[in-house]
């Protein structure tokens, strides 16, 4: 009896902290999503059942922002992954000052998103941005481009910023995975006459696969939830060109003061992400 109580006792502080910091806010969000909670009407917060969810699912803004979220997550995570994989393969080779290069690569990942957003906003600025100046100077652009003010380029511009921020995560994670692949396998492949491509496809990729899947899943969740970079760079504009689902939820709650609708949108986003995680967990159990 005493023995079975000890682990619970030891876990109690962590469980209490998780309960206060995670479960309570989640339950509170669910409560808010079932009520008509408008910040400036505190005396009237009637229970509305699933009305906030129904309203969200019937709103064009929800589906538009969900579509942009898909573009945002798939586009930016796949680019981060490909660049990160390329960098990891390079960093896995022997060359001078490899340690220094590995340390420098991590810098974008270590910077706060707000700083990255401000830096990229000014780099992309129409009048004073260095990217326009370089583009025009080298003849790549006929004239400066208002990257963040055009609906056709704003999303790509913001994605460039998050790709720059996020590729070091893949580079470092995949590098760790590469170093855990036994060298014998590469020697065996070489003896069998496999060229570089076959070695990559049949030795490197299978060896990296568990790390790849975990890193991709984690990064997808982070990117799907993130709104800070977009908020700083475009605020969701021009128009709603870069308004993803979490930003839509944030603006509904924070700027619009409509916490009931904002909570419903957040819950829907959570359910969508949970379905991705569930697939991963189930697949992991089947594989196990």
Partner 1 sequence: MTKQRDSGFASTTTRRRLLLGAAAGGAALAAPPIIRVRSASVRSVRWWYFFDDPNAAPDALVSEFQKLHPDIRIDAERIPNNGGADYATRLYSALLAGQGPDVAMMKIANLSRLLEMEALLPIDSYLASWPGRGDIAEQHWKLAAAPDGKAYILPVQYVVLYLYIRQDWLDAAKMAPPKTLDEMLEVARAMTGKDRWGIGVRGGAGGQDFWASVVMGEVPWEKGAFVKPAAVAANDWYLDLFRKYKVTPPSTPGDGFQQTINNLKAGRTGMTIHHIGSASGVVESLGNRITAVPLPGGPRGAWATYGDGGQSIFAKCKDPDAAWAWISWLSAGEPNAAFNRLTGQVPVATSMAKNWTEVPKRFVDATVNSLPIARILPNLSQTADFVRTVWPQATQKAFLGQISSAEMMGAFEKLYFS
Q: Given the rule CB under 8 A, which residues bind partner 1?
A: 39-43, 125-128, 144-146, 148-151, 154, 234-240, 251, 254-257
Closer residue to partner 1 (CB): 147 or 170: 147
Smallest distance from partner 1 to CB 112, Å:
16
CB of 282 to partner 1, least distance (A): 40
CB of 253 to partner 1, least distance (A): 9
* Nearest alpha carbon to residue 261 among 46, 37, 90: 37
Nearer to partner 1, 86 or 235 (CB): 235
* 186 contacts 199 by C-beta, under 8 angstroms: yes
The Cα–Cα gap between 280 and 288 comes to 12
Burial of 246 (0-12, 13-18, 19+ CB in 10 A): buried
Residue placing its CB nearer to partner 1 in the complex, 7 or 42: 42
Give 34-43 contacts, CB < 8 A, sequence gap 24+.
34/260, 35/260, 36/260, 37/258, 37/259, 37/260, 37/263, 38/257, 38/258, 38/259, 38/260, 39/257, 39/258, 39/259, 40/257
172 or 233: CB nearest partner 1: 233
| Minimum CB distance to partner 1, residue 255 (Å) | 5
The DSSP code sequence of 92-160 is TS--TTHHHHHHHHTHHHHS-HHHHHHHHHHHT-TTT-HHHHHHHHTTS-SS---GGGSHHHHHHHHHH
Residue with smaller CB distance to partner 1, 75 or 237: 237
Q: Are residues 139 and 83 in contact, defined by beta-carbon separation less than 8 angstroms?
A: no
Minimum gap (Å) between residue 162 Cβ and partner 1: 18
User: Whose CA is closest to 155, among 219, 81, 68, 82?
Assistant: 68
Nearer to partner 1 by C-beta: 173 or 241? 241
CB of residue 39 to partner 1, shortest distance in Å: 5
Minimum Å distance from CB 190 to partner 1?
54
List phi, psi (to 5°) of 236: 100, -10
Indicate the residue among 16 and 255 with the shorter CB distance to partner 1.
Answer: 255
Q: Measured from the CB atom, is 35 or 125 closer to partner 1?
A: 125
Nearest distance from C-beta of residue 22 to partner 1, angstroms: 21
Q: What does each C-alpha distance from 132 to 7, 121, 229 come to in angstroms?
A: 60, 12, 21
């Amino acid at each position: 009896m005493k023995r079975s109580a000890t682990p619970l006792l030891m876990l109690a502080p962590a469980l209490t902290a998780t309960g206060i910091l995670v479960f309570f806010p989640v339950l509170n969000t669910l409560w808010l999503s079932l009520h008509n909670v408008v910040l400036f009407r505190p005396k009237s917060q009637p229970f509305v059942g699933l009305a906030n969810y129904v309203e969200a699912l019937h709103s064009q803004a929800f589906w538009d922002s969900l579509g942009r979220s898909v573009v945002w997550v798939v586009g930016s995570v796949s680019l981060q992954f490909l660049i990160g994989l390329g960098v990891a393969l390079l960093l896995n080779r022997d060359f001078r000052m490899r340690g220094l290069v590995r340390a420098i690569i991590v810098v974008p990942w270590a910077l706060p998103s707000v700083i990255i957003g401000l830096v990229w906003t000014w780099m992309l600025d129409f009048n004073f941005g260095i990217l326009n100046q370089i583009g025009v100077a080298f003849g790549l652009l006929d004239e400066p481009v208002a990257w963040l003010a055009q609906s056709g380029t704003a999303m790509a511009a913001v994605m460039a910023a998050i790709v720059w921020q996020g590729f070091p995560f893949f580079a470092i994670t995949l590098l760790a995975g590469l170093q855990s692949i036994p060298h014998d396998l590469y020697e065996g492949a070489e003896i069998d006459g496999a060229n570089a491509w076959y070695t990559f496809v049949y030795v490197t990729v299978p060896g990296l696969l568990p790390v790849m899947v975990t890193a991709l899943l984690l990064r997808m969740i982070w990117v799907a939830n993130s709104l800070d970079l977009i908020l700083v760079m475009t605020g969701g504009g021009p128009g709603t060109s870069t308004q993803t689902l979490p930003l839509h939820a944030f603006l509904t709650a924070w700027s619009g003061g409509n916490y009931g609708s904002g909570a419903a949108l957040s819950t829907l986003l959570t359910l969508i992400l949970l379905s991705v995680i569930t697939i991963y967990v189930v697949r992991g159990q089947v594989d196990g």
